[in-house]
Amino acid sequence: MLRKILIDTLFLLPLMVAQAGAGSMPRLEKATFAGGCFWCMTPPFEKLDGVKEVISGYTGGHTVNPTYEDVTSETTGHRESVEIAYDPSKITYEKLLDVFWKQINPTDAGGQFVDRGPSYTSAIFYHSEEQKRLADESKKKLAESGRFDKPIVTEILPAGPFYRAEEYHQDYWKKNPIRYKFYRYNSGRDQYLAKVWGKDEAMNTKHTAMAEEAYVKPSRDELKKRLTPMQFKVTQQEGTEPAFDNEYWDNHRTGIYVDIVSGEPLFSSLDKYESGTGWPSFTKPLEPGNIVTKEDRSWFSVRTEVRSKHADSHLGHVFDDGPKPTGLRYCMNSAALRFIPREDLVKDGYGKYAKLFEK
């Protein structure tokens, strides 16, 4: 009998410990918000004490397991959203609502900032009647504050199935800080929030990026990891890639070319032409302010070197044998550039240039 009691005790002990541990775990609740691009909605909540996890995903639609392409096609009814797991003993739902309102334009029924379409419209998805009550109260209070001169159109809806977005979307602001900062600044979100709430309030989560900060040059060690040997040789060691054996010399797609290091916009396909040299050639820069020229006396001649302003990347050279109207040939190395096709301009944070290619 004693042996049986000991065996039963040893068998049950792990379960008892696990149950005791589970009982001491904080009880987490969920909050779900849609505020346009979920890249931008993640950082403000992740930095709050009491928030355990913020997941980017899709909700409010009528299909199962939608992909990013499905949602942005505007055929599934889903919105880009964030699902927040929080400890109500450390942070209240009211506080989460307050943070939510200060991340969006609640008067925009057509999307959020540069992102347009139903999938980018704002909404609060409640998980309980108490959340609904608090959301209704906060919306009414905001409408009566006089802060906005247009109606508050953010919807308050019951929470439904939430589908986690692709992994590359999760914590995008941490994984791709340069591209995230560039996208965020050019989306117009921070400028709007600063205008409505004041600079200090809009920046209280410390994620606002100014234009100059968006174009960051990583450390040399980081560049060695990130760039291919040819990209590193060209941009950091003033190298030259082989003619007719590079990525963009015969690229005829519509879009823009940015610095492979910093992402700063440099050239447009509208100004690209067939120079016959075997390197991508342009008649003028897309953003002259991002271009720096220097005298180059290497190779026993005097040439004009072209570098990017913010990353100081070697790009190529400019010559005066180009076609009209400029008469210039910006002869660039493909290895110094990254091409953003027209259809990806908004997604990659270059939406302001999409209008260049409108017919």
Active centre residues (catalytic):
37, 331
Burial 177-194 (b: 16+ CB within 10 A, else e): ebbbbbbbbbbebbebbe
Q: Nearest CA to 125 among 57, 46, 49?
A: 57
Q: Nearest CA to 273 among 258, 251, 290, 255?
A: 251
Whether residue 325 has a cis bond before it, omega within 30° of 0: yes
Using DSSP's 3-state secondary structure scheme, residue 22 falls into: helix
Burial 277-302 (b: 16+ CB within 10 A, else e): eebbbbbbbbbeebbeeeeeeeeeee
C-alpha distances in Å from residue 283, one per residue of 203, 286, 293: 40, 10, 15
Q: Would you tell me how many other CB atoms lie within 10 Å of the CB of residue 154? A: 24
Question: To 10 degrees, the CA torsion angle through 274, 279, 282, 285?
Answer: 170
Which residue carries 């001491």 as its tokens?
24
Query: Measured between alpha carbons, how far is 192 from 180 in angstroms, rounded to an integer?
Result: 17
What phi and psi values does residue 171 have, to the nearest 5 degrees? 50, 45
- The region, left, alpha or beta by phi > 0 then psi within -120 to 50, assigned to residue 312 is left
Q: Nearest CA to 90 among 50, 125, 129?
A: 50
Q: Which residues does residue 124 pair with via DSSP β-bridges, in sequence order?
A: 33, 156
Which residue carries 């015969």 as its tokens?
250
Which helix H or strand E contains 292, and what residues bound it? strand 291-296
Question: To 10 degrees, the CA torsion angle through 178, 181, 187, 190?
Answer: -170
Using DSSP's 3-state secondary structure scheme, residue 343 falls into: helix
